[in-house]
Chain A
């Protein structure tokens, strides 16, 4: 805020500019009200470790968040393996995600990093909201064999300023 001090004479124009300037600064500050968040998970997806406990993380958001992007990365020496990143409710209650299946698969290339993205930002597509306190599960799965490395990434949008 750039206050212009009065020099003895109080003019209407200066009063207006000072109050308007303050209002503009306050409005700008109040408008910065969202931010994109990221939740990540990395797994080796070893066949011996099984899928039940080896390939997911659970978390319950501290605040409501909207799903923006789900992305999967995979690296393996063998081409043609399918790795899938999935976001679900940890206790299986799909009501919280409106029965939507939130997942994205990618097919490995031999020795190269491949990636795939599910984009939920488009206005006309399904909007998915993660609710405060509900346990969600970000998991990585594969069809067969082992995967050298897999990574899942979720981008979420939340309200920036909270009381």
Chain B
């Protein structure tokens, strides 16, 4: 997209109000066009639910999805639910806000299993604004059963017009200069200052967000994944969780900050946070791929997962 070239003023020529107003109109239009194209989409975020049974404790059937910070508001615009399992069980995917209910409420989605080699699928396009508390997704079965292979796919979008904290992008509506303006400099300053504010907000709200989930169950050894640094990763944050029946722990490593997560309560979902650092290069240069590790495991970790966010 190209912005409209403003009218040029010439020295010693008459500066007329309509030319100035024409420039204000053109640039207001450009700002509005940028603001219209305000959404950026995350890649599909895949969260596995392999091996989950109806009898597991609630925490082991739940994944907490959270945004990296309060200044990175995002919305979940679509949720897909896939299950391969023996037929005869209806599985429900529900969502709630950690410690409360979602506003607006999100209706759960259900599917009936159709066999180990037949995909059961359900989807919801109800938008979920992700608050600072995060959104918990939970699966539950109508009868005794095991999800042989299952996952949910979250599709998220970030809003460049609203970054949670000032400056939010309110657009730009100029007040035009007219012949009655007693002080041209002052009037123009007011208009150009408003334009500059809108443009600056547009430039400040540049963060798009990309995210991936790394999840493992019942592991006793180091788990690791790779992300290509050449995917434009500049580093942002991660949220991790651990749930375990006995005292267990893992330490995050690789290209993310070393953070210890430990817990001994199957009903407690322990949250860890940290930062991601990386050097961006071409996707084929594997030397600086981001390696995400849950390692130095003590005991058996029933459920551990990390959401990595980058921009």
Within 8 A of A (CB), among B150-208: 151, 153, 155, 157, 160, 183-186, 188-189, 192-193, 195-196, 199-200, 202-203, 206, 208
- On chain A, the number of residues with a Cβ less than 8 Å from chain B's Cβ atoms is 62
A6 with B189, Cβ < 8 A, contacts A25-B202, A153-B226 known = yes
Q: Knowing A1-B196, A10-B184, A58-B119 are in contact, say whether A15-B20 is a contact too (CB < 8 A).
A: yes
- CA gap between A15 and B206 in the complex, in Å: 27
Rounded to whole angstroms, the CA-CA distance of A16 and B43 in the bound complex is 41
Residues of chain B with a CB closer than 8 A to A12's CB: 9-13, 15
Q: Which of B57-65, B75-83, B133-141 contacts A (4 or more CB under 8 A)?
A: B75-83
Q: Which residues from A are CB-within-8-Å of B33?
A: 30
How many contacting A-B pairs (Cβ < 8 A)? 193
Give B10's nearest chain A residue, CB to CB. A12
Q: Is the pair A3, B192 in contact by a Cβ cutoff of 8 Å?
A: yes
- If A10-B15, A38-B228 touch, does A68 touch B3 (CB 8 Å cutoff)? no
Our pick among A36, A40, A163 for the contact of B283 (Cβ within 8 Å) is A36
Q: Are B46 and A41 in contact (CB-based, < 8 A)?
A: yes
Cβ of B27 under 8 Å from chain A: yes
**Shortest beta-carbon distance, A126 to chain B, in Å?**
17
Q: What secondary structure prevails in chain A residues at the interface with B?
A: mixed
Among candidates B1, B27, B232, B284, residue contacting A33 with C-beta atoms closer than 8 Å: B1
Spell out A's residues near B (CB within 8 Å).
Answer: 1, 3, 5-13, 15-16, 18-20, 22-23, 25-33, 35-42, 52-54, 57-63, 68-69, 71, 73, 115, 117, 119, 121, 151, 153, 155-156, 158, 160-163
Query: Number of residues in B with C-beta < 8 Å to the partner?
Result: 76
What residues of B have a CB within 8 angstroms of the CB of A7 in the complex? 185
Among B211-242, those with CB < 8 Å from A are 212, 214, 225-228, 230-232
A-B pairs, 10 with minimum CB distance: A37-B43, A6-B185, A12-B9, A19-B6, A161-B37, A59-B44, A30-B1, A36-B231, A3-B196, A62-B155
